[in-house]
Structure 1
Amino acid sequence: MAQSRLEKIGTIFTRVQGLLRGGAMKTEDKPIWYDVYAAYPPKAEPRYDRPAPEVPVRNIFYAEDVVRAKLHKQNRPNETISLFDNKRSTQSQQFMKIYENLKSQGALDEQRIYETALDLLAEQRQQSRLDASSEEPAVAGIELNVETKSQLMSDFMEAGGQQAKSSSPPKERKKDSGVGINIDSLFKD
């Protein structure tokens, strides 16, 4: 019989080697990686009981990470984000575009750039809200453009409008449906 399949006893290489020596595996059935591993064995054998190397993990920070962390710490963005919507950028992405634009001009120090970028982002969001609110009454029955929606509020308004269109008075719906159980008859006793 071939060697044990338990990972604690030998490596996958030694197990395949044992199968080949014992005749349980034909040479034409050996894995593709076997000859490469035999020709170029690793410096340290990959065993389960080998201690992990003591290599310090480096912190990887991008220049924008510090600014973005400061933004999220001081001003919690309150927006819903759809991972399917690639056209719209998030508040933090908009902030970083404004911040990088101001930083490239180079006239202000870091703190003033941050504060100015916050002010410009607030103005931009306020303008988009005004644009969305001015267009909503004129387009009451039509589905709104994705860019003009002001996040969650407009989504709720849209859902409420669709529900109002499809809903009918409760008593008529009970008579028309004809499917399911009549709740009124269940609780008459």
Structure 2
Amino acid sequence: MAGSRLERIGTIYSRTTGLIKSGALSWDDRPLWYDIYEAFPPQEEPRFDRPAPNIKLKKIFYKEDEIRAVFHRNNKYIGAANMFNNHYKSLTQKFIEKYHVIEDQYKGEGTKEQIYADAIESLKREKENQKEATVEEVEPISLSTAFKEAKSSQKNVQETKINLDVKNIFKD
């Protein structure tokens, strides 16, 4: 029993207890969960052959889940979201916020399809405005001016070069 890896022969707790009692596993090397399992044992032993409990699960849906589902069904290529950046809102979050704002403007008179279409249009307009703002910030430079700037910066770098003697670099 101690060398068994099969879930059919005892539980993981009983096999670990057997390993500790036989000396194959020292008390100091016991798993982290072992003490918790002993302090708070389950009401029924978790065995592979125990039938699943007949518990009715509640379906939990939030108000925006339906909106999110429709948005993702109609827009397959949304892009990746950076989960590490809490200050950045994903496209889905922005859409849901727009949807709620437009829904409040309609005051219950518009259909879901109208609100959805208006929210999509609002997002598109916002994206176009952002593109225009970034384009306006960059000053157009002619090609000859860009070449002249690159040439002058290259000359500055060449003037500041230091002559190094590789053979005598460590002789100081």
Query: When the two structures are superposed, what TM-score results if normalisation uses the length of structure 2?
Result: 0.56
Q: Deviations over 1:62-82 (max 9, x none)?
A: 2112112222333x2655435
Question: What is the alpha-carbon distance in structure 2 between the residues aligned to residue 61 and residue 69 of structure 1?
Answer: 11
Partner of 1:113: 115
Segments of 5+ residues of structure 1 without an aligned counterpart are 141-164, 166-189
Q: Would you say the 8 A contact 1:77–1:91 is kept in 2?
A: no
Distance 2:33 2:76 in 1: 50
Q: 1:134 aligns with which of 127, 133, 136?
A: 136
Check conservation: 2:81, 2:90, Cα contact below 8 A. no
Match of 2:5 in 1: 6
Deviation at 1:46, TM superposition (A): 1.5
Task: Give the whole-Å Cα distance in 1 for the aligned partners of 2:25 and 2:85.
Answer: 53
**Cα separation, 1, equivalents of 2:78 and 2:40:** 53
1:81 partner amino acid: A
Q: Residue type of the partner of 1:67?
A: I
* Alpha-carbon separation, structure 2, partners of 1:9 and 1:40: 22
**Alignment correspondent of 1:89:** 89
Tell whether 2:81 aligns with 1:64: no
Q: Which moved more, 1:64-73 or 1:54-63?
A: 54-63
CA distance in 1, matches of 2:123, 2:42: 54
Report the counterpart of residue 153 of structure 2 in structure 1: none
What is the CA–CA distance in structure 2 between the aligned matches of 1:63 and 1:52, rounded to whole Å?
31
- 8 Å CA contact 2:13, 2:34 repeated in 1: yes
Listed as ranges, the gaps of 5+ residues in structure 2 are 142-149, 151-172
Distance, in Å, in 2 between the alignment partners of 1:97 and 1:28 is: 55
The residue aligned with 2:99 is 99
Q: Is the 8 A contact 2:99 2:116 kept in 1?
A: yes
Number of matched pairs: 138
* 8 Å Cα contact 1:68-1:96 kept in structure 2: yes
With over 3 angstroms needed to count, the CA separation of the structure-2 counterparts of 1:39 and 1:115, relative to structure 1, is: closer
CA offsets per residue over residues 121-147 of structure 1, 9 Å max, x none? 2221221222223334x176xxxxxxx
Q: Which amino acid aligns with 2:65?
A: D
> Hey, what's the Cα distance between the residues in 2 that align with 1:39 and 1:65?
39
Q: What's the C-alpha RMSD, in Å, of the aligned pairs? A: 3.8
Structure 1 residue 91, shift from structure 2 partner:
2.7
Query: What SS does structure 2 have at the residue aligned with 1:51?
Result: coil
Describe the shift of the 1:131–1:55 C-alpha distance in structure 2 as closer, same or farther (beyond 3 A): same
CA drift of 1:53 comes to 2.9
Partner of 1:44: 44
* Aligned-residue offset at 1:19: 4.8
1: CA distance, partners of 2:98 / 2:81: 22
